[in-house]
Structure 1
């Protein structure tokens, strides 16, 4: 004759009635979580344990709830760290983009660019349009989405990057600086083409493009069409080489000519 198995109620022990013993257990859990670097379990185990007792779940379910909470919180902290390390000048998200004000950009297009597949393939992105048409918003929003997907992103303006490279060259650490920019998954270059670059500056920038060619994705935002880039890169051969690298297999988004900022200012004045 088989021995009857214990019921679920009999397998789950009741809460400890000895306050001293319970306190000792809490201390052990707290110290173990500190040692194992499990801050979420440390802060939430009491609430999760109380919920488990109320719902009379199994030991495995209780353990799974603890671990899921730790993993979810750790992933959220990682996303926040990657966004912070991207060095965006201000928070911008794709879901806040006003599609009604800029019909040149569609939700479907941004859905594609929020997916990290193009970044992993090392494909370029060009955002071309006049000032005030949402290029920087899109650049930061796309970069934020890619960082939250778990990839390394770095934002900078083109002038700041060229200045940083020039300083690195003067201090004999150019190779290290270029290698550092080569390690990020997506380099976001804002204000591309706003200022003229001398031949030395253009050569330094070209080295970044060469380092990342077909391996690391670059996203640029420019208020000048490709035909006018020769005014920024005064060396014709360098200009051709840079345009070639930025546009090869590229996603090209034209944000138009109607300034969103100007339209908003006009609306406020009419009120």
Structure 2
């Protein structure tokens, strides 16, 4: 019978979905008793542990839902290698105020200069602030949009994409888009205009985007929406991968 209160407590904590209370209450009680902490201080510590753990789990769920190909932070980015990149602006963007203001970010530069790394770093920062993020390449996004049209679920997919606080579209320009693909991508950009932020990385300067979309009219309409509220990151320099390959060979 002496174990009944403990069994009931564990049962109630599970029902209340307080896993950190469940795992830590006994150990923390002993610790607080040793330190002569009263019941208020004990409960405060227990609540703080629960909140910290809940925040950690929430961030993990956001990162998983974002579908990042890799988890990279801006702390690991070597700004010295890409001197054209505005470090002050990049760190300001990591505060994610641009997402609150429904602004966009476009990173432009040759292949291998770290555009994806920066996009991933900003996406991770957004997840850590509790924002909903989705990462995709331009080619993959167009592919799933075309599939959705064939399966008559385009509106549902569009709703999912527009519900994200931040949509990251990587590698725009690496693969030319079909007419239907370009139009579907335009729809997503239009639906998010002044409603949600987009980060785009591209290896092509703006004056060559007609090569991607195949139409000057469509390209102009896309650029008009993307650049109305935008932060542009210029990332010109030697490829990280090429540099690492040379080091390995030397």
Match of 1:141 among 83, 107, 121: 121
Q: Which has the larger radius of gyration?
A: 1
Partner of residue 224, structure 2: 244
Structure 2 CA distance for aligned equivalents of residues 136 and 256 of structure 1: 13
Aligned pairs for 1:206-245 within 5 A = 206-245=186-225
Q: Name whichever of 130-139 and 170-179 sits farther off.
A: 170-179
| Aligned partner of 2:84 among 96, 104, 108 | 104
- Alpha-carbon distance in 1 for matches of 2:84, 2:53: 37
Q: Aligned partners of 1:163, 1:194: CA distance in 2, in Å?
A: 14
Answering whether residue 211 of structure 2 is matched by residue 202 of structure 1, we say no
> Where in structure 1 are there 5+ consecutive unaligned residues?
1-19
Contact 2:127 2:133 in 1 (8 A): yes
What's the counterpart of residue 166 of structure 2? 186
Distance in 2 separating the partners of 1:70 and 1:239: 49
Measured in 1, the distance between the counterparts of 2:105 and 2:86 equals 16
The corresponding residue for 1:169 is 149
Displacement after TM superposition at 1:198 (Å): 2.0
1:46-77 CA-to-partner distances (Å, cap 9, x unmatched) read: 11101110111111111111111111100110
Q: Does 1:80 align with 2:64?
A: no
Contact 2:86–2:233 (8 Å) recurs in 1: no
Alignment of 1:46 onto 2:26:
yes
| TM-score for the superposition, normalised by structure 2 | 0.97
Partner of 1:16: none
Of 236, 241, 249, the residue aligned with 1:261 is 241
- The residue that corresponds to 1:30 in the other structure is 10
Q: Distance in 2 between matches of 1:92 and 1:68?
A: 28
CA distance in 2, matches of 1:148, 1:164: 27
Deviation, structure 1 residue 28: 2.4
Deviations along 1:85-131, one digit per CA (max 9) or x if unpaired, are 00001121111101121222244222211112101111010000000
Are 2:84 and 2:237, in contact at CA under 8 Å, matched by a contact in 1? no
When the two structures are aligned, how many residues end up with a matched partner? 250
Give the TM-score normalised by the residue count of structure 1: 0.89
> Aligned partners of 2:249, 2:234: CA distance in 1, in Å?
28
| Runs ≥4 residues deviating over 6 A | none
| Distance in 2 of aligned mates of 1:28 and 1:59 | 20
- Name structure 2 gaps, 5 residues minimum: none
